[in-house]
Structure 1
Amino acid sequence: MEIRRLVGQNLKRFREQAGLSQEGLAFECGLHRTYVSGVERDVRNPTIKVLEKLAEPLGVPPWRFMVPPEGQPN
């Protein structure tokens, strides 16, 4: 799987598990909602610093965005 798509899928999964909307997460991170949407849809290529910003309110380390979920092939 392409890394950018994996990051977007994981971001969406962690965000939904945290009970946050895209707008809520964006507010917590100081980003725009459309940017969060773009990362989730694989049209934005976030920097490491952005991944760090996104991970903090979700309570996950940034590297978790790049790890396939259990039971999914690499």
Structure 2
Amino acid sequence: MEKKEMNQLKFAKAILKAAEEKNLSLRKLSAASGLEFSQVQRIAKGKVNLALSTIISLAEGLEITPSELFQYYE
């Protein structure tokens, strides 16, 4: 697995962990972040190399800052 793919999977896990702590399903995260549900699903599977604007939208949907979201990145 390439480093890029590994990083995408790690970030996907960070998003899932943050959503779990906020008791948000992917569908609710999609609605709260203004992103299409199918896009959130692909992100959660680590299939998408995210743009900064998408990271910000996800953080807003989780009601945390982007820097707080990156704290989940291990």
TM-score (norm 2): 0.79
| Map of 1:30 onto structure 2 | 34
**Which digits, 9 at most, give the CA deviation of each residue in 1:5-36, with x for residues without a partner?**
11100001101110111111111111111111
Q: Which 4+ stretches in 1 moved above 4 angstroms?
A: none
- What value does the CA root-mean-square deviation take over the aligned residues? 1.8
Unaligned residue ranges in structure 2 (runs of 5+):
none
**Which digits, 9 at most, give the CA deviation of each residue in 1:11-62, with x for residues without a partner?**
0110111011111111111111111110110111211110000011313332
| Map of 1:72 onto structure 2 | none
Q: State the percentage of identical aligned residues.
A: 19
Contact kept in structure 2, 1:18 and 1:58, CA below 8 Å = yes
Unaligned residue ranges in structure 1 (runs of 5+):
69-74
TM-score (norm 1): 0.79
CA distance in structure 2 between the partners assigned to 1:38 and 1:10 by the alignment:
14
